[in-house]
Structure 1
Amino acid sequence: MSFDYGIIGRRIKKAREKKGLTQERLAEELDVSNAYISKIERGKTPISLDRLSDLCFVLEKSTEYILNGSNNTADDYLRNEIMIMLEGCSPEKVKLISQVIKPIIELDHK
């Protein structure tokens, strides 16, 4: 199984921001450097399992959410995954994606 560290990093950043933590504060909590947190959030470096466990504890998120975008209680994890992917897209790409999925969605409503 391979992971998209860019998406994982975006989930970590979103969880950190939702918790109201700066990169600096999260780095202090985990006893790592700010640069390390930045690299993880940008998907430039993988996170070790030990570090992931500590990070999930601090951010109060499950490892399932950080790695897969799903929670045990969330049935619509794919919807969340799509939303996270869209966050990194330019307005032009969002418009293109909309043009692609609109006909698919309309098939269900006919």
Structure 2
Amino acid sequence: MQELDLPTIEGPDASYVRLVSSDNHNFLIPKDLAFASDTIRTMFEGPGAFMETETNTVHLKTIPSHILQKVCHYFAYRYQYQDLEEEFPDFEIQEEMALDLYIATHFLEC
């Protein structure tokens, strides 16, 4: 039986990261997508030793799950369209979450 090489969040070569919202919801997303955030990328690649690099987990204590879920959707949207030279669809945002989403994306630098 052939062993499957599954993605993991364990160790320094992990391909996934865990984002934890203020209300303790976990979002497992590919590291490539999470690195759309300059803040998250700096935690993993920047100078200094961050706890996040050991656990591949980022606790976002000011971002509730309904906002973090939308941020994760934006990461996927941005990744999907990053190299597209033609016009691409708008990223849909509900009006009632616009301010909270702006604050979160400003903190995450994405």
TM range (shorter): 0.3 to 0.5
Normalized against structure 1, the TM-score is what?
0.32
Normalized against structure 2, the TM-score is what?
0.32
The structure with the larger Rg is 1
Which structure dedicates a bigger proportion of its chain to strand? 2
Q: Relative contact order: is structure 1 or structure 2 higher (C-alpha 8 Å, sep ≥ 6)?
A: 2
